Structure 1
């Protein structure tokens, strides 16, 4: 059978225990595996003639020590997902595995560079810049700064960051910098410290500015009270994390209900003092549906500070997208 047919033979809840058993480090990523599984099921299979292969061999391989065997699916990594769905699954005669175990193995390989399209874009954007995270994040940040300023936002300089934030970046730099075994004069050590500091600075500013840029189109909605300038206060947060999570619900299912079930089951959203939730729906409506309200209530429940932005993208249909920025701050910075 093809990989697409194999996926349709199983349920993710039956595959999940095998992912944890076979890849223990992935225990905290089950929510993303679930999204990846459903995304693949919704993709139409498409053959790409320049792909790695038209079949996928499932074999048993020995680990580095030669003491244990593990399932391997080759070739799956790096191919277009829609092409991987067309691959005929060929299982070696010495492999004794259930369909659920086969799917767990294949999912690990197909998600190697990312669980969803957004992850792939970020991964290969970095690869195109030679895996230089400093250059990648700086280019990303500068692009976002231009958009934010265009819409009235103000980006703080390094000097304008809170003292506690600068101290944290300094500690992070000291923990990660390595001067090597050679003796360096003060000027060279200072330059190396500055370079390492800017790596962490741009990594932080890239993620915050990206969230703001993604939220800007929804701010024109008359229901939203936040401005670009207010969102720029996120740059002053003590700690920050953001993520985008899209639903892959079936045609007769609410995207909001789908995300609610997965996010709550796998506790996918970090718990911090504050959160800004940007909910993008596929239809315009005056008030949130019951499922959308329930999802937003779950995301904001127990936070000291919470804000909600509503946006519309008619191409989504019954799907929804959640973009959130969670942060720690002594005060409500927005």
Structure 2
């Protein structure tokens, strides 16, 4: 049986119990798996002939079935994966839903969508592509620390922050060097945290959903969580219902532990989010989420086509 046939045979609810067993360390990602599953169901398999998907290593030493199997030869291209035949090692009688959940988990290892992201994360190790002032400060700090701790003969020429594999920094450092490393580590953590928050602010402002002064307080929040939702309906009239179902049915979060929320809805300029859709979303949100203050803004993201993306920021204010 081809992998595409497995996706067509079952609904996402059929494999939810198996997915939950796999993602015990990150149960909040269930809506992301739903989005990927629905995208794969709508996708057309590639016409290219490729090797089979081999399902193996699904039993522990006692013969019990593990939470997820090892799926060999899946590859990176989703349309090519869908065209592959699924072969189970030793013809062991496994539940098709278990196999499908394992394949879905493997296919989403590098992301929950095959669609290009116009805001893909950029590595901060390349200076000319740094995105904000915190990224730049972090790079300068790491570069300075690297130069002070790595002898010149062990540095890779033309590759900043890269060290020869033969070099091992001395383990027994004196007190001043330990204090230096601790200060650098604290500063790095600070810059990484604020770099992430600055990137969130840029996302919210560059799409036109908010003014900077409305969301700049994100730098002062004590802690927060970010949840992205994207509809996969290929039907403009159902996209808000899809988002609401992802939140109400699959998202397991105690919203009352947060002090406020920011919601950003983004769609293409050809299919913008209407005021009726905005009101429909606010009415359909969970009661616990509506119990805290909510800021909502409408922005533009051309790559969404007929779909809509919702970014949910939950914050604990200091």
Scaled to the shorter chain, the TM-score interval is 0.7 to 0.9
Name the counterpart of 1:276. Answer: 262
What's the offset of the Cα at 1:244? 2.5
Deviations 1:272-299 (A, max 9, x none): 1111111113423662325334356768
Name the counterpart of 2:211. Answer: 227
User: Cα–Cα, structure 1 residues 254 and 124, in superposed 2: closer, same or farther, change >3 Å?
Assistant: same
User: Cα–Cα, structure 1 residues 21 and 237, in superposed 2: closer, same or farther, change >3 Å?
Assistant: closer
Number of aligned residue pairs: give it: 278
User: Cα–Cα, structure 1 residues 72 and 13, in superposed 2: closer, same or farther, change >3 Å?
Assistant: same
User: What runs of 5+ residues in structure 1 fail to find an aligned partner?
Assistant: 127-134, 148-179
What's the offset of the Cα at 1:92? 3.9
User: Cα–Cα, structure 1 residues 58 and 6, in superposed 2: closer, same or farther, change >3 Å?
Assistant: same
Which moves more between the two structures, 9-18 or 240-249?
Answer: 240-249
User: Cα–Cα, structure 1 residues 285 and 19, in superposed 2: closer, same or farther, change >3 Å?
Assistant: closer
Residue correspondence of structure 1 range 51-130 to structure 2 within 5 A: 53-63=50-60, 65=61, 67-70=63-66, 71-76=69-74, 78-116=75-113
Distance, in Å, in 2 between the alignment partners of 1:199 and 1:253 is: 45
Name the counterpart of 2:14. Answer: 14
* Aligned pair partner of 2:241 in 248, 253, 257: 257
Deviations 1:235-288 (A, max 9, x none): 011112223221112437511110110111122566311111111134236623
**Normalised by the size of structure 2, how large is the TM-score?**
0.73
Root-mean-square deviation (CA), in Å? 3.6
What's the offset of the Cα at 1:206? 2.4
SS in 2 for 1:115: coil
* Cα pair 2:248 2:286 within 8 Å, conserved: no
SS in 1 for 2:262: strand
What's the offset of the Cα at 1:122? 9.6
User: Cα–Cα, structure 1 residues 13 and 58, in superposed 2: closer, same or farther, change >3 Å?
Assistant: same
Distance, in Å, in 2 between the alignment partners of 1:146 and 1:202 is: 6
User: Cα–Cα, structure 1 residues 109 and 122, in superposed 2: closer, same or farther, change >3 Å?
Assistant: farther
Deviations 1:93-112 (A, max 9, x none): 53212321221121121122
SS in 1 for 2:207: helix
Distance, in Å, in 1 between the alignment partners of 2:129 and 2:224 is: 16
User: What runs of 5+ residues in structure 2 fail to find an aligned partner?
Assistant: 136-168
User: Cα–Cα, structure 1 residues 182 and 218, in superposed 2: closer, same or farther, change >3 Å?
Assistant: closer
**Normalised by the size of structure 1, how large is the TM-score?**
0.69
What's the offset of the Cα at 1:195? 2.1
Distance, in Å, in 2 between the alignment partners of 1:286 and 1:121 is: 23
What's the offset of the Cα at 1:315? 4.7
Distance, in Å, in 1 between the alignment partners of 2:186 and 2:261 is: 27
Distance, in Å, in 1 between the alignment partners of 2:63 and 2:119 is: 36
User: Cα–Cα, structure 1 residues 263 and 233, in superposed 2: closer, same or farther, change >3 Å?
Assistant: same
What's the offset of the Cα at 1:306? 2.2
SS in 2 for 1:238: strand
Distance, in Å, in 2 between the alignment partners of 1:235 and 1:194 is: 21
Distance, in Å, in 2 between the alignment partners of 1:140 and 1:325 is: 29
SS in 2 for 1:8: helix
* Cα pair 1:279 1:310 within 8 Å, conserved: yes
* Cα pair 1:32 1:115 within 8 Å, conserved: yes
Distance, in Å, in 2 between the alignment partners of 1:139 and 1:205 is: 18
* Cα pair 2:267 2:273 within 8 Å, conserved: no
SS in 1 for 2:131: helix
Question: Given the alignment of the two structures, is residue 321 of structure 1 paired with residue 317 of structure 2, yes or no?
Answer: no
* Aligned pair partner of 2:176 in 178, 183, 187: 187
